[in-house]
Amino acid sequence: DLFERMTVPSARLPKALAGLTSRENVTEAVVLSTCNRIEVYAFAERFHGAYQDIRVSLAEL
């Protein structure tokens, strides 16, 4: 099911957070993963740069 593939298992959350906050434009982040979605809350100085960083980081999961 597509929704099941769009989650981050709890064992992978530390890697997901480390991947996000190691990016150039993301300084702080929170990842909320439920059974059918992923939400990312992030603090960034540059919106477009952070948006791209978040997209790349999620694609690498």
Clarify whether 15 is annotated catalytic: no
Nearest to 37 by CA among 13, 60, 1, 5: 5
50 within 8 A of 20, measured Cβ to Cβ: no
Q: Which of 2, 11, 35, 59 is catalytic?
A: 35
3 within 8 A of 38, measured Cβ to Cβ: no
Active site residues: 35
